[in-house]
Amino acid sequence: MKKILGLIAVISLATLTACGQLNSAATLGDQTISQNELQTTVDTLLKERATQDVSQMQLESGAALNRSQLRFLIITKIFDEIAKELKLEITKSELATTRQSMIAQGGGEATLATNLVSAQIASTNFDKYIRAIIISDKLTAALKQSGVADADVSAKISQLVVAKTKELKIKINPRYGTWDDASGDILATDSAGDAVKSPATK
């Protein structure tokens, strides 16, 4: 369930600058992630947490949760754009098969809700997660087939993401922080407007 989180950790994106639209959390080219969409995602996740025993889980809250969920929405949209550019078709059958496989690997339907809460993925975003995994797997397979060594695949995918990010000229609403190239993450911003550095390891 946490495969994409590891992938996100190695991706270094271009700087996300201040967002000019007050009602948007982020913009990607002509696409907008609205603050309402982000808030709905966060609210859904919090409601689903309330149904689970989270005492042994390390979960984000507050501003940190907002940042991580916004990053998730941004990354999944970037992967969708890469798939469009490379004409990678994701069929309903692939989505269904991958979904069933992931649920089975996680212990079945009975544990799905708990697994999603633990991975900090709202149930409404599960399909986005699955789609991103499929795109990542297709990119990996294509790169390997073209002769790219296994050890270099992640770097090549990162390059694709960086290129697509620059093309889309992504902007982020400053209320959610600032983008840090070094960590590939959205950093918190203090009251004086300075970025608060995140830990070196996530």
Kindly give the confidence (pLDDT) of every residue in the chain, 202 residues in length, as a single tens digit, with 9 standing for 90 and above. Answer: 555 555 554 443 333 333 444 588 988 888 899 999 999 999 999 999 999 999 999 999 999 999 999 989 988 998 999 999 999 999 999 999 999 999 999 999 999 999 999 999 999 999 999 999 999 999 999 999 999 999 999 999 888 887 787 788 778 888 887 665 445 567 777 644 444 444 443 3
Domain holding 135, by residue range, is: 3-190
Indicate yes or no: pTM above 0.85: no
Q: Is residue 197 part of a domain?
A: no
Q: Is residue 196 part of a domain?
A: no
Tokens, residue 165? 């990010």
User: What is 26-62 written as a DSSP string?
Assistant: EEETTEEEEHHHHHHHHHHHHHHHTTS--TT-----H
Residue 65, Cβ neighbours under 10 Å: how many? 16
Type of residue numbered 175: R
Q: Is residue 57 part of a domain?
A: yes
- From the DSSP assignment, how many helices (H) and strands (E) are in the chain? 7, 7
Type of residue numbered 96: A
Q: How many domains does the chain have?
A: 1
Q: Is residue 95 part of a domain?
A: yes
Q: Is residue 16 part of a domain?
A: yes
Q: Is residue 198 part of a domain?
A: no
Q: Is residue 89 part of a domain?
A: yes
Q: Is residue 195 part of a domain?
A: no
Q: Looking at residue 168, which CATH number applies to its domain? A: 1.10.4030
Query: CA dist 12 to 29, 68, 106, 157, 186, Å?
Result: 19, 15, 29, 10, 11
